[in-house]
Amino acid sequence: MTLRYSALFCLIALILLSGCFPSTVSVAPDGRIALPRGDGIYLMDLASGKSSRLYEAEPGKEPGWVQWSPKGDEIMYVVKNEIFLVSPDGTNLRSFYKTQSTMGLCLWSPDKSCISVAELGMMSSETEEGQEKDSRAEKVDASLKGEQLPCMTVLDVKTGKVRWQVQNTFFIHRWMPDSKSIIIYHILKKDKDSGIYTGEIASLQLSDGKLRSMVSTMGFDSWLDVSPSAESVYFTAQTASLSKEALKTPDKNASGRLFRLVKKGGKAELRDIGTASIFFTSPDSKRLLIARQDEDGTKLIVCDENGEREKLIAQNPAINTAEMSSGKILPLWLNNDEIMFWRYVTVLAPDGKSLTAFTAKADGSKITNVQGSIDQAIIQASKKK
């Protein structure tokens, strides 16, 4: 498979075919996790084993994304193309948003005033006339007409109405900690021969809906994250430069680089800190959890904020795999010192392997198989119903 049909294409194809998208557990402020499975959504405390089933899925209504609200007082989950909001005890269930598009990543704003949604399968060749507000002021480049690229939608939690929409994005986006803006990868054009996208890491301001360019980029896809301290924006691209500087054209065979945009004292600095497929900043902003692909497969590592002092956590975790019904499952930080991830473990079963959950210390020590605890908690929660 050529690079032009890399991670973004595979991701969208899996989403459109399966009706799912990258999934992971969500961690509440009190440490409880919300786990989406084919049979429903379960809430559990791994330490105590206490659990409950929040949502029991019917055939064809399997849950996708799930996320605790910032204060842990409400949970958002997605079934097909509909977002539901519910209290952790299962009360106050309501349908919040429904769309004809396939939904990808859904995130609460840190102050819980908004929910952002990556909608997939929308035609980006033109803007719908009935759309309430559109932050995109420029005309679509001819090279993007007919492309199916995600649209990032911002919804007001109180009213359920659309506040802003940005066409032509990659599905990953992140809220800034002050809830005043969202960091996105905005796609500007595509080279039809190489498949390389030219775009920008930009900030969508909720006050006026304007995009403010931060970094110019080129590449086939991008992952990004924002440090909880708001000091750094991390993203992947084949090449990147500060918006006012010249951007070099990358080699079509170049691997994706991990960049760190640091803002201090009103000045911006861009650093190339290595390679990565996906990555997540720790809650205290001091470390990165990185999945990196090389000739030996995928490695899950932890490093400092500059990509240094690496610690190997796991070899070949279950991240980029088509063997799962949802396409991908993502590792995560449980807290500043503990990580959760998945592996395929050989078992005596028809397919010979089972998706198994592990926890590990961020220094690579004390790797623990917690699948038994999860399975037991799910059994107990199912019996309560």
Q: What confidence tens digit (pLDDT) does each residue in 149-180 have?
A: 888 999 999 999 999 999 999 889 999 999 99
297 alpha carbon, distance to own chain's centre = 22
Residue 213: partners with Cβ closer than 8 Å, 6 or more residues away? 186, 200, 201, 202, 243
Contacts of residues 73-76 at CB distance under 8 Å and 24 or more positions apart, as own/partner, are: 74/112, 75/26, 75/34, 75/41, 75/43, 76/106, 76/108, 76/115
- At residue 326, the pLDDT reads 42
| Total Cβ atoms within 10 A of residue 13 | 13
Burial bucket for residue 312 (CB in 10 Å: 0-12, 13-18, 19+): exposed
- At residue 347, the pLDDT reads 62
Q: State the Cα angle at 86 between 378 and 228, rounded to 5°.
A: 90
* 10-residue mean pLDDT series, the chain (385 residues): 33 32 77 89 89 90 90 93 94 92 89 93 40 51 80 94 92 94 94 88 95 92 92 94 82 81 87 92 96 88 95 86 51 94 74 81 93 88 75
- CB-CB contact of 373 with 350 (8 Å): no
In 343-376, which positions are buried (b, 16+ CB within 10 angstroms) versus exposed (e)?
bbeeeeeeeeeeebbbbbebebeeeeeebebbee
Fold of domain 24-98: N-terminal domain of TfIIb (2.20.25)
- At residue 59, the pLDDT reads 87
* DSSP-derived secondary structure for 252-271: TTPPPEEEEEEEETTEEEEE
Q: How far apart are CA 321 and CA 86, in angstroms?
A: 31
- CB-CB contact of 162 with 155 (8 Å): yes
pTM: 0.86
- At residue 18, the pLDDT reads 32
Q: How far apart are CA 187 and CA 115, in angstroms?
A: 22
Q: Which residue has the tokens 């690229």?
A: 149
* Ordered strands of the 297-304 beta sheet: 278-281, 287-294, 297-304, 311-315
User: What single-letter amino acid sits at 63?
Assistant: P
Q: How far apart are CA 201 and CA 178, in angstroms?
A: 18
284 token code pair: 């205290």
- At residue 222, the pLDDT reads 85
- At residue 328, the pLDDT reads 62
Q: How far apart are CA 157 and CA 198, in angstroms?
A: 33
- CB-CB contact of 162 with 133 (8 Å): yes
Q: How far apart are CA 11 and CA 321, in angstroms?
A: 11
Every domain of the chain and the residues it spans: 24-98, 110-275, 285-385
